[in-house]
Amino acid sequence: MPDLQPWSRLRMGVDYYPEHWDVSMWEEDALLMKRTGVKIVRLAEFAWSRLEPAEGQFDFTWLDQAVDLFHHHDIGVVLGTPTNTPPRWLTDSCPDVLPITASGQPVHAGVRGHRCFNSPSMRTYASRIVHRLAEHYAGHPAVEGWQIDNEYWLLECHCTACNERFREWVKAKYETLDEVNRSWGTVVWSGEFNDWTQITTPLGGSPFQNPSYLLDYYRFQSASAAQFQQEQIALIRKLAPEHYITHNFHSYPQKLDLHQIGEELDFASFDYYPNTSPDKTSTGPYSGALSLDLTRGIKQRGFWIMEQLSGPPGCWFPMWRTPQPGFIRAFAWQTIARGADTVVHFRWRSALQGAEQYWHGLIDHSNVPGRRFEEFTQLCEEVNKAAANLSGTTVQSEAAILYASDQLLSMGIQKQSEGLDYYENIKQWHKALTKLGIGVDVIHTDAQLDSYKLVIAPHLYLMDEALAERLESYAASGGTVILTTRSGVKQMNNICHMEQLPALLSRCAGVTVSEYDPIGKDAHIITTGDASYACSQWNDLLVPQTAEPIAWYNDDFYCGTPAVTRNRFGEGTVYYTGTQPEEAYLIRLLREAASVAGLSCFDKELPEGVQLTVRTGEQASYLFVLNLSREEAVVELEAAYPSLLTGEVSGRELTLPPYGVEILELPREHA
Amino acid sequence: MPDLQPWSRLRMGVDYYPEHWDVSMWEEDALLMKRTGVKIVRLAEFAWSRLEPAEGQFDFTWLDQAVDLFHHHDIGVVLGTPTNTPPRWLTDSCPDVLPITASGQPVHAGVRGHRCFNSPSMRTYASRIVHRLAEHYAGHPAVEGWQIDNEYWLLECHCTACNERFREWVKAKYETLDEVNRSWGTVVWSGEFNDWTQITTPLGGSPFQNPSYLLDYYRFQSASAAQFQQEQIALIRKLAPEHYITHNFHSYPQKLDLHQIGEELDFASFDYYPNTSPDKTSTGPYSGALSLDLTRGIKQRGFWIMEQLSGPPGCWFPMWRTPQPGFIRAFAWQTIARGADTVVHFRWRSALQGAEQYWHGLIDHSNVPGRRFEEFTQLCEEVNKAAANLSGTTVQSEAAILYASDQLLSMGIQKQSEGLDYYENIKQWHKALTKLGIGVDVIHTDAQLDSYKLVIAPHLYLMDEALAERLESYAASGGTVILTTRSGVKQMNNICHMEQLPALLSRCAGVTVSEYDPIGKDAHIITTGDASYACSQWNDLLVPQTAEPIAWYNDDFYCGTPAVTRNRFGEGTVYYTGTQPEEAYLIRLLREAASVAGLSCFDKELPEGVQLTVRTGEQASYLFVLNLSREEAVVELEAAYPSLLTGEVSGRELTLPPYGVEILELPREHA
Amino acid sequence: MPDLQPWSRLRMGVDYYPEHWDVSMWEEDALLMKRTGVKIVRLAEFAWSRLEPAEGQFDFTWLDQAVDLFHHHDIGVVLGTPTNTPPRWLTDSCPDVLPITASGQPVHAGVRGHRCFNSPSMRTYASRIVHRLAEHYAGHPAVEGWQIDNEYWLLECHCTACNERFREWVKAKYETLDEVNRSWGTVVWSGEFNDWTQITTPLGGSPFQNPSYLLDYYRFQSASAAQFQQEQIALIRKLAPEHYITHNFHSYPQKLDLHQIGEELDFASFDYYPNTSPDKTSTGPYSGALSLDLTRGIKQRGFWIMEQLSGPPGCWFPMWRTPQPGFIRAFAWQTIARGADTVVHFRWRSALQGAEQYWHGLIDHSNVPGRRFEEFTQLCEEVNKAAANLSGTTVQSEAAILYASDQLLSMGIQKQSEGLDYYENIKQWHKALTKLGIGVDVIHTDAQLDSYKLVIAPHLYLMDEALAERLESYAASGGTVILTTRSGVKQMNNICHMEQLPALLSRCAGVTVSEYDPIGKDAHIITTGDASYACSQWNDLLVPQTAEPIAWYNDDFYCGTPAVTRNRFGEGTVYYTGTQPEEAYLIRLLREAASVAGLSCFDKELPEGVQLTVRTGEQASYLFVLNLSREEAVVELEAAYPSLLTGEVSGRELTLPPYGVEILELPREHA
C-alpha cells in the first residue's frame, strides 16, 4: 500500500486528557496504551486555559512532555484546537466571544461551545493560539494531524457581529433590497425591507418567522461555522503542510451543513455513541448505520471515529445502561465495516471532575481496568491483526440516498404533517436497504450519480432546474430513481413552485399530484393488488401521466387512487411513492427496484440487527457480518468463505452469537 | 327587502391579496371569481408596506387598480385596515410600536400582531394610514365597508405606555389608593400601594399574582384594544359614513372582552376553521356551533364569516387533514344556518411565500383548481340561488346561555379543580341543547332576558346585586333558569363574598351549599332515583331551603346529599346543579327544563353530528338540517316540507348523506 | 413537669390574620377560638405594610389591639417577622431587595419571597422592623415567641450582592484561586479562574455547569439564608431573651440545608399539608411520616406544626379534594404521635382576598363553621384533655436514617439513572420501617450514632474520611449499618474518589463494586435463594472481600453475581445493597437487620396506612395507633392497654375505623 494516506491505515486510538491527571500517572497510562495496542491518541482539544493560562502567556511544556511520551511509545498524536472552550480570561475581557440568544442573553460558559463563530475577539484569539500550536508542533515526529474545534452545531447567535455579518451575507447574495424582498416574499404581512439596517437575525418574540428568511439565516450560520473553521485550517495548512485535518461531527441530524463544513477537511470524523439500552437494540444499530454512511458521504471516502462509546454515557441525562459483553467490540467493528479507518475510543479513563464525570471511559474512576477494558484489549488485537488486510480497502456502493441540510432545514421550518420528518424517513429507507443487505452511500444532492445503479431521493422538497435535470439525465441514461412525497415543492429560496407537484420532477416521474391529504398519524392502507400495507404521514393523490400505478389507496374518499407509480424514462426508471408506507412495503419496493436496477439483494430480509457490508481493496474484498443484537442470529450466505478473524472457513449458514462479528474474505470475482 | 342593511344580504366572498401575485394574474382571478359566483372580496388587511412604503409616502395606485377591477366585475370590496402588521420602517424608527413581554423583551415582527394597542407611535401612524385610506376609498362605488385590524387577542404588554395608561385606568376607576388597596385586597402579603407609581403591569418573576389586580389588568388590556379600534372607527365614520365596519374575531375562548370590542361595530365577523380530522368529528361541529352562536350574540344580530376554511390549515402546526368531500360546503351552510349573512372563504389561492404557505386556499399553489374549488363553486351557486329567500331572515331563539369574558378570566386566574373549565362546560351545555334541537343564543350576562323562555347560566362566578336581581326578576316573571356550581362566589372585583354559596343567588335558587368537594377527575355518581349518572369536577353539598332535590350524590361520605335542586320562584323555576354531570344527565335535565319552560325539543336526541336550526323572515321560515359527520344520518321530522335547495318535498324521515345539507321551508305557523 | 420548656406543652393553635378582617370581627373570632380550645395563635407574619406603612413610619396599634385581645382570652401569641414580604415602598425605593434570575430579570412581588437574602437594603430594613417589633413585644405577657420569616427555599439569586458575597464565601473557603481550581476541577474545559472577579453565580445560557462549583453555589445560598435569619435571631435574643424562636419549614425535600438553618432555632416547625386525594392515601401518610421525622431530626427534639391542613388547598394548582371526615383529626394526631408538641392549624378562616383565597381554612369564606370546624373542635378537646399526660413525653427511636442536604444536592446535580432519586429512595426505606412498626429518627449524617441499634444510610454519595470513620467506629462497637448503591462515590467537593466503590466504605462493608449497570426503569430480578424480588434503578456488581452475599442478580449477563452482602465488622454488622429492591425485599432485609441489631418489630407488616409510634415520658409511655386510610384496619397488639382517649381498655386485636385514632398507655416496662 505505497500510496496510502497516513490517515487511511486501520488503527485503534483513545482520547486522553493529560491535563486532567497528575503527571505521575502519564507514564503508566502510556505504557498500558502501548501494550493494549493503541496506535493513536487525541490530545488537547479543550486545554486552552493550560496552553495560554493568561492572555498572551503561552505554556506548551506540559503538552510537549505528553507528546514526547507518546512518541516514545510509538503512539501517534492528533491535536485538537482548543477553540470550543475559550478560557475565563478571554470571556471575561472580551464578552463579545459569548453567543447571544434571541432575547439578548449571553450564553455563559458551562457545557462548552460558549463562543460565537463570528465574534471578532474569538476570531483573533483563536487564530493566535492555533498559529502558535501549529508552529510549535509542525515538526514534532509524533504529531500527525489536527481536529479543528469540537462537535459544531448550528448556533443561533444574535450578537452584533452576527447581525453585521448576516447583513453582509445577505447583501452579497442578493445585492439589492428589492431582490431580498422578492426572494423572501416579504410582501406578506408588510415585512418588506427598505433599509439594509432593518435586516437582522430573528430577534425573538414571535414564535414563527418567514421561512425563506429563516432558511437563509440558518445557511448564514452554517457558513459562519465553515468560515470560522477555515481560518484555522488555512493557518495549519501553511505552518504544518504535512498534517491532515479533520473535524468530529456528532449527533445527526444536525441543522449544520455537514458538506460545507467538510469541504476543506482531509476526512470527516464522527463521535459515535450507539444506544446501549435493550429497548433500543432494534433501532439503535440501524440509526447508527445511517450515521456512519452519512459521515462517509461527507467526503465520499474513509473516515474516522474520533469518539467511540466505551461505557455508559450520562451527565446531561440519567446514565444509560452499561454496554453488554460484546457491545463495545461489535459497534467498533460496525464503524470499520462502514468505512472507518481509525477508531478512537472516548475516553481512556472516566473523568473524576468537571461536568462529564459520568460519560464513562474504558477504565473506571477507580483506575482499575475491568470487563470493558478487557473487551477493548481484544478488539485492539483483532484490529491490529486485520490491519494488514483491511488498510486501504474502502466501501463501494451501487445504491445511494440523497441528503442535504437545506432539505432538512426547510422541512423543519414548517412541519408538513404529524410524524413526517425528513431525517426519520431517510432512516426508514436506509433500514429497508440494510435489511436487504444492499450497501448504500448517503451523499449530497449535488454529488455525482453516475456510479450508482439505484438512487433513493426522499423528500427533495427544495428543487431547482439544475437538480431536476441532473436526476432526469441520470434516469434517462439508465438509472433507477425513487422519489417520494413532498418533492419539488419549493424553489431553493423556500418559496413554493406554482406548478402541480412534484413540479419539476413531474417530467421524469410521469405523474402529477392532484391533491394531498396530510394524514399524519391516522391509519391508512395501500394495496398492490396482492397485498395490503399500512401507510401514514401523507397521501398524495396521483394522476399518472406516462407512469403506471403499482399501488393504490384502499380507503377514504380516494380509495382506488394511485399511491405509488413507476415510470419508464429514457433508459431508466423513476418510482414515485405518494405516501410513507410501512417497512414491509419499502422492502418490497426496494427489492423490485433493485431488480430493475440490476443490483443484487437478499431474497429474505436479514434477521433484525444483522448488518452486512463489504470493504473492497486492490487485493481482496471482505464481507463484514455483524450481529448487533442481544439474540443469536443465523445468516444464509451464498457460499462458505475463510474468516479473517479466525482463519477458519465459515459454513454457508453462519451462526452469530449476540454481538457476534465475522469478517470473511470474498473470492476475487467479488472485488 | 327594502330596508335590508347592505351587509345583511346573503353572499359568498373570498379573501384575496393582490399584492401577493403578479399583476398579470389579477384579471384572470377576478374573472374566475365572478364566474364562480363570488360577490365580495376582502383586500389589503396586511398591506401597509405597500400602501405606505416609506414614512409618509403613500401609494394607493395598485389597490385602486385592484378595486377598479373588482368593481368592473360587480364584486364588492371590504378593505382591511393594515394595522395588524406595522411595516419595518415603522418598527425600526419607532420601536415603542412593539409589545414588551413581562421580562422586558420586545415582541419583534414575525407572525403578525407586533404592535402594542397603547403605543403612542402606533396610534399616530395607524390613524394616519386609516385616515388616508378612508378618505381615498370613501367614494369608490365598489368599496362597501371595513374590517378593522385583524384577529385581536388580549395582549399582555408591559411597555411604558401600557404602564402609564394602566395607572390612569386604575386611577379613573378607583380614584384613591385606599380604594385600590381595598378593592384588590392588597393587605394580603404586604402588597399595599402608597404611591401611584407603584402600580405597574405584572412585571414578572412571580408565576402568580393577586387575582383582583390581574383581572383589572386584563380588563384594562381589553379596553385598550377597544380604544385602539375606536380611533379607527371614528375616522371611518367621519370620512366614509356610508360604509359598514366590522372586525374578524377568532379562536374562542378569547381572554378579550368580545362584547366591549363589538360595541361600536356594525356587525361581528368570525374566522371559522372547523377541525377536519376524523377524530374530531364528534366535537368539532359542536364546538363550532357554539363559536357561531357566540359570534351572533356579540351584536345579537346576523354576522359574517370573514375567513372560512377552504383546505388544510397548517404552518404553526403540522397540517390538518384535507377536508372530506362535502365538508367545505356543509360547514359553510352551518355558518348561514346559525346567522351568518356573508361567508368569505380564506383564501382564493394558497400563498406561495411567507409564513402562511400551508394555510391552504380554495385553489392550490399550482393554480390548478381542483376538487375543493369545485365544491366551492357548487356552494356559491346554491347560496346565490337561496339568497332571495334567505336574505333578511334571522335566527331567533327561545333559549339563551349567558357568557362573559369577566367570568372566563376570573375562573382562569385561579383554576377551581382539575378539569373544571368555564368555556368547556359551556360547550357541554351548548352541545346538550343542540342534540335536543333547541336553538340557543349565547349572550352577555348583561343582555336582556325577557324574550327567552329558558336561560342557562353556567358558572356565574362573579356576581353583584344587579345581576342577581336581574335573574331573580326574570325568574319571578316566569322564566326558567339553570344555575351551576361556582356561582355567586365572588364580587366583581374578584374578592369572595362572605356568604354561603351560591351567595346572592341563594334567594332565587332556594338552596345553600354547606360545603364542597373539588373532585376534579375522580369518578363520582349521582342518582335521580330511577337512574344513575357519572359526574365530575366539583361536588357542592346542597341544603335545600325552599328548593326540592331532584338528584342526589350516590357515593362518598355525602352519599344521599342533594346534588341538583329545582326551586319554584315567583312564576318561574330555578335549577341548581351542584356538580358537572355527564351529557346524558344534561340532556335529561334540559328536556325537563324545556318542558317546564314551554319550549319544544326532540324526544330522542339527534344523531351525533346532526344539527338543526331555523332562520326566520317576514315571509317564511327555513329549517336547516345538517349532517356534519362522516356517517349517513336519519332525522325524524314533524312533517314533510319542500326543500329550498332542490324544490322537492322531503320525506318526514329525512336521510342525509355524510356532510349532507337540507334546507326546508316551514309552513307559515312556524314563522 | 417543672422543667418543661414553654414550647413543649401540648397545645392546639391557629394561624390568624387580624389585618385581613374588619376589626369588628376580631372579638367574636377570639371568643370562638377560646371556646374551641385554641391556646395559641400565630400573627403578623406577612403584615409589614401594616406595621410600617411607609418608610420609617411604624404603626403597631392594630397589632397591640389584637395581641391584647388574645391575651384577654388566655391565648398565647407567636409573632412572625414579616420579612418574607417586603412592602411596595421598599421594593420601589430599593429595587436591590428583589432577587435576580440567571438571565438578569428581577423577581417582582407576587407569591411572596420576593427578597434576596443578601440584599443590603433588605438586611437593613429587615433588621429595623424586627428590632422595633422585638423591642415592642418583648414584655407583652401574651407574646411567647417568634417565627422568623416564612417557608424559606433555596434562592438561586444572581444580584450584585449575591455575586459579591459568593466571591467572598469562596475566598474564605479556599483562600487561593489555585485551591478553587483544584477543588472544583476547573481544568476540564478550560474553566480555570485566574482572577477573583471571574467567580460569579451561574449566569445562565448553558443548561449544565461544573458540579463542584454548583454544589458550592447552593451551599453558599443556604448559608445566606442562615445568615439572613441569624441577624433577626440575634436581635430577638438580645431584646426578648425569654422568647423562643422557630421557623416554619415546608415541602420536603428542600435544596436548603435544613440543619444549618435550624442551628440557632429553639425548635423546628413544619407546615404540613398531607394529600387529601383518595388516590394518594397509600403514599400520602408515609411521605408525611418521613416529613415529620425529618423535622424532629433537625433539632433532635420535639417540634411544632405551624400550619396544619384545615381544608382543601388550592390557588397555585386546582383545588385538592376536601378532607374526608376524620382526616383533619387523624393527621393532626399523626404529627403529635411523631413528636409535634403544638399543632397550629392554617388558617382560622379562608381568605376572601389575595392570591390564597382557595387555601381553605377551618371556617369557610361564608364564616359559617361547618363539618371541618366541628372536627377541629373535637380534636381540640381531645388534645387539651390528653395534654396533661402527653406534655413532656418525647419520641425516642432505636433506628436512624441518615440524611444531608449535601447528598441531596449533589445527587440532584447529576442524575444517576432514570428513577434513582435520593429522597424518594429514603422514602422507600422509611416506609418499610414504618410498616414494620419500627420507630426511626431521620438525622443528619454528622449526628451522634451511639444511641441507635440500627442505622440506615441511603446513598452516602459524598464521603470523606471522617464520615467513613464514624460509621466504622459505630459498626465496630456493635452497631448495625445498612449501606446502599451510590455510596462513597465522591469527595465532599463533588469530585470522584479514585478508588473502587464504595471507596472509603469498602473497609467496613467488606465488598467492592467491580462495575455497575444503571438499569433505570428496566425490570430486573434478585434472588435470595428461597425467593425472588424485583429491583430497579441501579445494579452494582459486587465482589465480596470479607462480606458474605445474601442476594444475587438473577438475570442479565451478571446473573449469579452478588447483589446484597452482609459483613461482620468488629462487634457489628454492615449490609450493602447494590440495587434498589422492591418494598417486600426492603422489609425482609430490615426484619433481618432488626433481629441482628436486637430491635423488635412486627412479624407481619402493618396494614396499609396504619402507623404506630410511641411517646415516652418520665411517668409513662403512650402508643399511638393511627389508621390513616379510608378502610377499616385491624392491628394485633402484644397485649390489651388502657386508652388515653376513652379510658377504656382496648382488646389485643384493635379495630380502627377509617382515619381512626387510638392512644394506649403502655405498662411501665415499655417506658
Q: List chains touching B (3+ CB pairs under 8 A).
A: A, C
CB < 8 Å to B355, chain A:
188-189, 208-211
Interchain proximity A205–B105, CB inside 8 Å:
yes
Q: Which of B52, B55, B144, B151 is labelled catalytic?
A: B151
State whether B585 and B508 are in the same domain: yes
C-alpha A493/C-alpha B522 separation (Å) is 53
Of the candidates C108, C277, C315, which has its C-beta nearest B414's C-beta? C315
In a domain, residue A140? The reply is yes
Helix (H) or strand (E) holding A577: strand A572-577
In a domain, residue A181? The reply is no
**For residues C498-513, average pLDDT:** 98
CB < 8 Å to C514, chain A:
370-371
Residue C281 has pLDDT above 80, yes or no: no
**What residues are paired with C11 via a beta bridge?**
C342
Residue B434 is part of which domain span? 399-597
State whether C332 and C263 are in the same domain: yes
State whether C537 and C645 are in the same domain: no
* Residue whose C-alpha cell reads 433539632 in the numeric block: C299
Specify whether the CB–CB gap between A315 and C414 falls below 8 A.
yes
* B626-657: pLDDT as tens digits: 999 999 999 999 999 999 999 999 889 999 99
C-alpha C458/C-alpha C337 separation (Å) is 25
The answer for residues whose C-beta is within 8 angstroms of residue B138's C-beta and 6 or more apart is: B239, B240, B242, B243
Interchain proximity A520–B318, CB inside 8 Å:
yes
CA dihedral of residues C193, C198, C204, C207 (deg, nearest 10): 0
How many domains does chain C fold into?
Answer: 3
* Percent of chain B's residues with pLDDT above 90: 94
**For residues A53-78, average pLDDT:** 98
Specify whether the CB–CB gap between B362 and B347 falls below 8 A.
yes
**What residues are paired with A655 via a beta bridge?**
A634
pLDDT tier at C667, thresholds 50, 70, 90: confident
Number of residues assigned to chain C: 671
Specify whether the CB–CB gap between B100 and B140 falls below 8 A.
no
CB burial readout C256-280, b (16+ within 10 A) else e: bbbbbbbebbbbbbbbbbbbbeeee
**For residues B318-330, average pLDDT:** 97
Q: Is residue C660 classed exposed, middle or buried when 0-12, 13-18 and 19+ CB atoms within 10 A define those classes?
A: buried
C93 touches chain B (CB under 8 A): no
C-alpha A212/C-alpha A495 separation (Å) is 7
Would residue B263 show up in a list of annotated catalytic residues for this protein?
A: no
**Three cell numbers written together for B274:** 372547523
State whether C436 and C367 are in the same domain: no
CB < 8 Å to A516, chain B:
322
pLDDT tier at B671, thresholds 50, 70, 90: very low
**What residues are paired with B340 via a beta bridge?**
B303
Domain boundary among C392, C421, C442: C392
Domain boundary among A372, A391, A410: A391
Q: Where are the alpha helices (DSSP H) in B436-539?
A: 465-476, 506-509
Interchain proximity A191–B49, CB inside 8 Å:
yes
Residue type, position A635, single letter: V
State whether A510 and A654 are in the same domain: no
- Return the CATH number at C550: 3.40.50.880
CB < 8 Å to C518, chain A:
312, 314, 318-322
Residue B622 has pLDDT above 80, yes or no: yes
Interchain proximity B197–C317, CB inside 8 Å:
no
pLDDT tier at B283, thresholds 50, 70, 90: low
State whether C316 and C377 are in the same domain: yes
Closest CA to B263 of B225, B305, B215: B225
In a domain, residue B410? The reply is yes
State whether C404 and C386 are in the same domain: no
Specify whether the CB–CB gap between C644 and C622 falls below 8 A.
yes
Residue A587 has pLDDT above 60, yes or no: yes
B523 touches chain C (CB under 8 A): no
Number of residues assigned to chain B: 671
C-alpha B71/C-alpha A584 separation (Å) is 58
The bridge status of strand C303-309 relative to strand C480-484 is unpaired
CB < 8 Å to B310, chain A:
none
Interchain proximity A371–C514, CB inside 8 Å:
yes
Interchain proximity A352–C498, CB inside 8 Å:
yes
Interchain proximity A106–C205, CB inside 8 Å:
yes
pLDDT at residue number C267:
98
Closest CA to A213 of B115, B82, B108: B108
* C608-661: pLDDT as tens digits: 999 999 999 998 999 999 999 999 999 999 999 999 999 999 889 999 999 999
* Number of CB pairs, chain A paired with chain B, less than 8 A apart: 168
pLDDT at residue number B536:
98
State whether B623 and B513 are in the same domain: no
CA dihedral of residues A310, A311, A312, A315 (deg, nearest 10): -70
Closest CA to B525 of B514, B536, B515, B537: B536
C-alpha B56/C-alpha B68 separation (Å) is 24
**What residues are paired with C567 via a beta bridge?**
C574
Q: Which residue of C has its CA nearest to B213?
A: C354
Interchain proximity B355–A210, CB inside 8 Å:
yes
Residue A283 has pLDDT above 90, yes or no: no
CB < 8 Å to B501, chain C:
366
**Three cell numbers written together for B184:** 384588590
In a domain, residue A552? The reply is yes
Residue C358 has pLDDT above 80, yes or no: yes
C-alpha A482/C-alpha A399 separation (Å) is 11
C190 touches chain A (CB under 8 A): yes
Domain boundary among B597, B631, B662: B597
Q: Which residue of B has its CA nearest to A536?
A: B321
C-alpha A633/C-alpha B35 separation (Å) is 68
CB < 8 Å to C357, chain B:
211, 414, 496
Starting at the edge strand that comes first in sequence, how are the strands of the sheet with B394-395 ordered? Answer: B394-395, B610-616, B621-627, B661-666
Q: Please state whether the peptide bond connecting residue C549 to the residue before it is cis, i.e. omega within 30 degrees of 0.
A: no
In a domain, residue B417? The reply is yes
Interchain proximity A357–C500, CB inside 8 Å:
no
pLDDT at residue number C207:
84
Residues of A with catalytic roles: 151, 307
Residue C2 has pLDDT above 70, yes or no: no
In a domain, residue C169? The reply is no
pLDDT tier at C323, thresholds 50, 70, 90: very high
* Percent of chain A's residues with pLDDT above 90: 94
* B357-378: pLDDT as tens digits: 999 999 999 999 999 999 999 9
pLDDT at residue number A281:
62
C358 touches chain A (CB under 8 A): no
* B246-255: pLDDT as tens digits: 999 999 999 9
C356 touches chain B (CB under 8 A): yes
pLDDT tier at B282, thresholds 50, 70, 90: low
Closest CA to C25 of C80, C65, C85, C59: C65
Q: How distant is the Cα of C209 from the closest Cα of chain A, in angstroms?
A: 5
* Percent of chain B's residues with pLDDT above 70: 99
Q: How distant is the Cα of A359 from the closest Cα of chain C, in angstroms?
A: 11
In a domain, residue C179? The reply is no
CA end-to-end distance (rounded Å), chain C: 17
Tell me the angle at which helices C422-435 and C583-597 cross, rounded to the nearest 10 degrees: 60
Specify whether the CB–CB gap between B23 and B89 falls below 8 A.
no
* A144-199: pLDDT as tens digits: 999 999 999 999 999 999 999 999 999 999 999 999 999 999 999 999 999 999 99
State whether A38 and A139 are in the same domain: yes
C88 touches chain B (CB under 8 A): yes
Kindly provide the ipTM of the predicted complex, given to two decimals: 0.96
Q: Which residue of B has its CA nearest to C113?
A: B206
B345 — phi, psi (to 5°)?
Answer: -85, 135
Query: Which of B125, B365, B375 should one mutate to test binding to chain A, selecting the residue with the greatest count of A CBs within 10 A?
Result: B365
- Return the CATH number at C650: 2.60.40.1180
The answer for residues whose C-beta is within 8 angstroms of residue B269's C-beta and 6 or more apart is: B147, B246, B247, B248, B249, B295, B303, B304, B305, B306
* C236-258: pLDDT as tens digits: 999 999 999 999 999 999 999 99
* C206-228: pLDDT as tens digits: 889 999 999 999 999 999 999 99
- Helix or strand or coil: residue A27? helix
Q: Which of C307, C375, C662, C665 is labelled catalytic?
A: C307
C210 touches chain A (CB under 8 A): yes
Tell me the angle at which helices C211-239 and C160-174 cross, rounded to the nearest 10 degrees: 100
pLDDT tier at C282, thresholds 50, 70, 90: low
> Secondary structure of C471-539 in the HEC alphabet?
HHHHHHCCCEEEEECCCCCECCCCCECCCCCCHHHHHHHCEEEEEEEEEEEEEEEEECCCCEEEEEEEE
pLDDT at residue number C1:
47
Interchain proximity B205–C86, CB inside 8 Å:
no
* A508-540: pLDDT as tens digits: 999 999 999 999 999 999 999 999 999 999 999
The answer for residues whose C-beta is within 8 angstroms of residue B589's C-beta and 6 or more apart is: B482, B564, B575, B577, B581
Residue A669 has pLDDT above 80, yes or no: no
State whether A75 and A35 are in the same domain: yes
State whether A315 and A409 are in the same domain: no
Interchain proximity C495–A319, CB inside 8 Å:
no
State whether A422 and A331 are in the same domain: no
Q: Which of C19, C52, C135, C151 is labelled catalytic?
A: C151
**For residues B416-426, average pLDDT:** 97
* B439-468: pLDDT as tens digits: 999 999 999 999 999 999 999 999 999 999
pLDDT at residue number B280:
73
In a domain, residue A452? The reply is yes
Of the candidates B184, B187, B517, which has its C-beta nearest C322's C-beta? B517
Specify whether the CB–CB gap between B597 and B301 falls below 8 A.
no
Residue B1 has pLDDT above 50, yes or no: no
pLDDT at residue number A603:
79
* B179-236: pLDDT as tens digits: 999 999 999 999 999 999 999 999 988 889 999 999 999 999 999 999 999 999 999 9
